[in-house]
Amino acid sequence: MRKTHKSKHNKKRNTAFLYEVLIQDITKSVVGGDQKRKERALKICKEFFHKGAILHKEKELYSSLLEASDLDRTLRDKLLEEAKRVYSTLSKREVFNAQTRMINKVNTELSASVFSNFVSNYKTLATISQILNQELPVKKRIMLESKFLEEVQLTEASSIPSMEPTDNLVYKTFVKNYNKKYEGVLSEAQQQVITRYATAFSDTGLSLKVFLNEELGRLKTALRTTLQTPILTEDESMKFKTEEVIALLESYRHIVEFTEDDIMRILEIQSLVEEMNS
């Protein structure tokens, strides 16, 4: 009697899943105010998903396929073939060993409960894993790939939230804390800062840094202009405080990673500039 092929997906050997549950844990730590756990989780994330790391390379293939809804069917087909080709060049032993080390670190430095974090697109990640691994029989693999491409097309037609639920949780927490302290309405620029901070983990903070590079420059220019106004030229105390704020903004140029406190200070400075210009 011929055995039927069975393929059981091991979520702990799905690099994208490992990344997502770790990000979930970092986000929960941020929201819960558990700084020590956040730092431990962030350290593990940086160690195994920094640019150039084998798991980062593999995760990028998952990401490219998850974002394929922006492409037409022909380009999606080409992307899928290229992703499979690139995946075949990765050392499976190196990937496996890196996953094992990461799993052990999560178990010892955080807890096994990390792997129980809910990942909304887990089924899609499992499908991509099966497609990339090429372990299914040809017929089943082709059917799976076709189904995946169709689902991507359906995703394209549906409305997709701009942020994942965990990112929204971080965003709402910042808004709540800000409003509690200042009882004000967030400006568009402040919303941009919080949104990029909430999603910073997805691209190692690149979009946050790019945005803040421009925003901090705008704030410095606005404050330096204010220094020339009669109100400040005649008030040494206000002038000194404004110069202190400018010096603080200058210091942010050398920051590699922005903390929650840094973000709150930037929100305060944005409010200050808004008030001065009103």
Give per-residue pLDDT as tens, 196-213: 777 676 566 777 887 888
pLDDT at 1 over 50: no
Range of the domain at 47: 11-157
Kindly state whether residue 6 falls inside one of the protein's structural domains.
no
Same domain (yes/no): 110, 203: no
- Report pLDDT digits (tens) over 151-182: 765 554 443 344 455 556 666 666 666 666 55
Whether the CB-CB separation of 140 and 29 falls below 8 Å is answered with no
**Does residue 128 sit in the same domain as residue 19?**
yes
The residues near 251 (Cβ < 8 Å, ≥ 6 apart) are: none
Whether residue 1 is contained in a domain is answered as no
**Looking at the 3D structure of the chain, how many domains does it have?**
2
pTM, full prediction:
0.57
Handedness of CA 57, 63, 67, 72 (dihedral sign): positive
Tokens, residue 170: 């971080």
pLDDT digits (tens, 9 = 90+) for 237-270: 888 888 888 988 888 877 878 888 888 889 889 9
Regarding whether 181 and 146 lie in a shared domain, the answer is no
Q: Is the pLDDT of residue 9 over 90?
A: no
Q: Are residues 240 and 119 in the same domain?
A: no
- Are both 149 and 208 inside the same structural domain? no
Check whether residue 122 and residue 228 sit in a common domain: no
Centre a 10 Å sphere on the Cβ of residue 12 and count the other Cβ atoms it contains. 14
Lowest-pLDDT choice from 29-33, 105-109, 198-202: 198-202
